[in-house]
Amino acid sequence: MGCGIVLAAPTALLVVRLTGFDAGTPLAVPMALFPYAAVLVALVLGTMVAVPVLRSGWAVAVVAVLLLTHMALLAPRFVPEGRHVPPDAFELRVATVNADAGAVDPRALVDLVRTERIDVLAVEQMPSGGVDALEKAGLGALMPHQELHPEYDSSIYSRHPLSRAGTTKVDTAWPQTTADVVVGGRTVQFVAVHTYYPLGDAERWTRDMDALTSMARRSGPDTVFLGDFNASLDHAPMRELIAAGLTDTHAELGHGWAPTWPVGLALVPPLIQLDHVLHGPGLAGVSVGEHTVPGTDHRAVVAVLALLPT
């Protein structure tokens, strides 16, 4: 009886995960914790096996099936795709960080850009005062090409010249900043993403994700969507976005556990990955990692992407 009560939440989340009922509903909030549901099921199964009074054959079998189903959904993101990247392929170093309404330490962010030799940086939730602080900290000297839209919540900084820069005109809560960068003889389109959040309005968040999905379907192979999606890989709208022709760099490289939020809470480590680097089939992930930048409640994501031969 007690095990059944404990397993009610993981079972419910599994049903939502399989049906996609989190799209446009408050179920999107608990769905972010789906990996923890698998851990809970594993603990229950281990307890049932270890405690004789709980070791009912049929009950153990049911819980084992529940665990295997969870694992089947989670396992692919821990298995590297192993795509071949030619040794002479041009590499592009990109990063994204949610600046937490400008609370990010500007010098620390500039240090990250310098140390990681970032080519293109997407910044979300950076107000005009934060933009000025980054300029004073020296970001402009490192990344002189900029498409800044603090009024719309996302900006793009680049070491390379930008073209076709501006903002989207799709159905998102606020416009997303976009720009093209010519590198390695190719034009790569960047979209700095910041969606609405499902806790505030799950329907609005889903419309944001649907709009990005429509953009992805119209985009070419040399496309990078990076930023704060307010979504994990277990959310149905995120899976739809990826199915539109994008690849999550963390999952591609087998880094299936990379929580980026929240940062800075006492005794609470980051729990959920909301920040992603997604790319089209013309690129491949070489490396990806998360970096804590003082001041913001999100970890920055830094990825190295290679341009594949056409």
Ordered by start, the domain boundaries in the chain are: 2-78, 91-307
| pLDDT tens digits, one per residue of 10-45 | 999 999 999 999 999 999 999 999 999 999 999 988
Burial class (CB in 10 A: 0-12, 13-18, 19+), 258: buried
Average pLDDT over residues 181-197: 97
Which backbone phi and psi does 236 adopt, to 5 degrees?
A: -60, -45
pTM metric for this prediction: 0.96
pLDDT of residue 46: 84
pLDDT in tens, 120-154: 999 999 999 999 999 999 999 999 999 999 999 99
Quick: pLDDT tens for 146-155. 999 999 999 9
Which pLDDT band, with edges at 50, 70 and 90, does 2 fall under?
A: low
The CATH T-level fold of domain 91-307 is Deoxyribonuclease I; Chain A (3.60.10)
Q: What percent of the chain has pLDDT over 90?
A: 88
